[in-house]
A and B are shown apart, each in its own frame.
Chain A
Amino acid sequence: MADLRTNIAGLQLCNPVMTASGTFGYGLEFQDFVNLEQIGGIIVKGTTLQPRQGNPYPRMAETAQGMLNCVGLQNKGVDYFCEHIYPQIKDIRTNMIVNVSGNSPEDYAECAARINELEHIPAIELNISCPNVKHGGMAFGTTTDGAASVVKAVREAYKKTLIVKLSPNVTSITDIALAVQDAGADAVSLINTLMGMAIDAEKRKRVLSIGTGGLSGPCVKPVALRMVYQVAHAVRIPVIGLGGISCATDAVEFLLAGASAVEIGTANFLDPAITVKVAEGINAYLDRHGFQSVKDIIGICE
C-alpha cells in the first residue's frame, strides 16, 4: 500500500482524487455509491451571491466520447447554501470545497467572504472560466487583467486556501496562470470545459438552448493534459488537473504531467463509484512500479 496522501497549498488530502464542480452535486447524491470520506476532496456545485435559474432546457448534448452542457450555474445562492446545504455537508470528513462564481469582482469577493465564515469549508475554487453565462465566468478568465482583478478582490476577502479554476478557451493558459498566481492564488485547477456546439441535422437547429455549451469527458483529455503540463512547468503554486479523467491511468498521466491532485467530472455520470476506483487504481500503479508515495510521481514526466 503506497502513501496516497498529497497536499495542495496546506490542504491535506487523503488521496489525490477530488470531484469536479457541477458533476457531483453536493456529494450527498453519491452517498449510496461511495464512501465520501474516501475521496480526497469534494468540490460542490457552482455557487453565486444571488440565486440563479440557469439556462433553459435543453442543457445537454451527447458527443463522441463526451458531452456538451450549458447548465449556466443554476444554484440557490450563497445564503441558501450557508443556511440549508452547509449543515448537511459540514460533517463529511473530507475537504468540502465550494466552487464560487460571480458577475463582478465585488460579487466574487462578497460570496467568498460569506464562505470564509464556514468552519468546515477549508477552501474555495474560484470559477473564472464558466463558458455558459453571459457576464462574468469566462469573461474574467480569458484575459490576464480580468483574471487578476477577480483574484485580487477575493484574496482580500478570503483567508483560507484559494484555488482558481482556469478556462482552456484562451490562447495562452500559462499567462493566465501566472497572472492569478501573482494576484494571490494558492493553487490553480484546470481545465474547465471547452466551448463547443451541437447541431441537429434533422431539425436543422442548434441543440442547446443558448446555442453553445462546454465540452467535457474523455474527448477533452489530450487538451487538458497538455495544458496541465504547460502550467505546471510555469507556476510555483500547486496545480490540480482535470478534464476527461475516467480511469486510474488517466489520473496517473495528470500526476506525471505535474498535477498534485486531480478532479473527476463527467465520468461520475457513467460510474458513480469511479472516484474510489481511481484512487485504488493509483495505489495499484504505485505499488506495481515500486513508488512509496504518490508525491514521488508528481511532475516526473520530462
Chain B
Amino acid sequence: MKKYILDLKLTAVERLHERYVLLKATDCQKPLPEMQPGQFAQLQIEGSKQTFLRRPISIHYVDRKQNEVWFLVQTVGDGTRQLARMQAGDTLNVILPLGNGFTMPSDASARVLQVGGGVGVAPLLYMGAVMREKGIEPTFLLGARSAGDLLQLDKFRALGRVFVTTEDGSMGEKGFVTQHSLLQQEKFTQISVCGPKPMMVAVARYAKSADTPCEVSLENMMACGLGACLCCVEDTETGNVCVCKEGPVFDIKKLKWQI
C-alpha cells in the first residue's frame, strides 16, 4: 500500500479520561488514503524537547463521511503528553498507513473475537467497523485495570457484542480477559488481540489450547517505522523481522513466544 506524509488538521481533541485522549484529524485537501485495521501511523511531535523521533500510534477509526482518521492515545511520557496538549485546528504531521493489519475474515459465518487490553483496544474499533460493513458481527472482549480505563465502550457496543473484565471488579467480570466466562461458553474461528504483552501471551496460550487461529499486534520500539533501520525487530521462526514492516500484526505461530 502506498504510504503518505500528510499534514492533517485536528478537528477535535477529546480527553476521555485523565490518561487518554482521542485525536480526530482530517485532510483538508483530499480524501484520506486507504487504511486497514491494525495498521499504524508515525506521528510527528512538535514542541517536546525530549521527543526526537516520531511516535507510532494505531489507526483507531476511519470516518469516511467526515474524512477523519482517529487516534486513541494514552499519555505515558513526554511525546504522548504533548499530543494530549494539542488543540482543534492544530496541524499534525503523520506518515501512514504503515505495516500490515489484521487478517479480515472473508466468510460471513466467521466468528471473530477481538480482545483488547487498555489502550490496546485502539485498532479494534476500526476492525469492528470494517467487519460490520461486511455483515459480520464482531465480539469484543475488553479488559482494563479499572472501569475508567475502559475506552470507547459506547462505540464498541454500537458495532457488536461487548464483554468486559476489570482487575478491580469495578465493571464487568473481575479478573483478566483470559478468565472471562465467555471463553468457556463459546468457540471462535479467529482471535485478534492488541494490548500489553503479558495479556497477549495469555490470550495466545488460550488460543493455542483451543486450536483457534490467533493474531497479536506488537508494540516494539520504533525509529523509522518504514523497515529501514532494523531497530524494531522481533525474533521469529524466520529470524529477526521488522515489526513495523512485517507486522505489527503477527500470527502467533510465527513468534517464538513460550506458549
Which residues of A does B touch, CB under 8 Å?
22-25, 29-30, 32-33, 45, 53-54, 56-60, 62-67, 69, 71, 74, 217, 266, 268-273
Contacts and interface: CB of A to CB of B under 8 A. Distances in A.
B110 interface: no
A24 B51 CA distance: 21
Interface string B219-259: 01111111111111111000110000100000000000000
Contacts of B51: 62
Nearest to A32: B3
Nearest to B231: A60
B227 A217 contact: no
A272 B5 contact: yes
B84 to A, nearest CB: 19
Interface of B: 2-5, 44, 49-54, 95, 220-235, 239-240, 245
B93 to A, nearest CB: 9
Nearest to A63: B52
Given A63-B52, A269-B223, A29 B235 contact: no
B228 A30 contact: yes
A237 to B, nearest CB: 29
A269 B229 contact: yes
Given A53-B239, A62-B53, A74-B233, A32 B2 contact: yes
Contact of A270 (B49, B54, B222): B54
A30 B226 contact: yes
Given A57-B220, A270-B44, A71 B231 contact: yes
B240 A74 contact: yes
A131 B52 CA distance: 22
A270 B223 CA distance: 9
A74 B230 contact: yes
Given A57-B240, A62-B51, A272-B224, 15 more contacts: A24-B228, A25-B226, A29-B226, A32-B2, A32-B3, A53-B239, A54-B240, A60-B231, A60-B232, A64-B52, A66-B52, A266-B223, A268-B224, A269-B54, A270-B53
Contacts of A66: 52
11 contacts: A22-B229, A23-B228, A29-B228, A57-B220, A60-B222, A64-B50, A64-B52, A71-B231, A269-B53, A269-B229, A272-B226
A273 B93 CA distance: 13
B229 A69 contact: yes
B237 to A, nearest CB: 13
A182 to B, nearest CB: 34
Nearest to A46: B230
B52 A67 contact: yes
A24 B222 CA distance: 15
Interface centre among B2, B95, B240 (most CB of A within 10 A): B240
A217 B52 contact: yes
Contacts of B220: 57-58
B35 to A, nearest CB: 14
A137 to B, nearest CB: 16
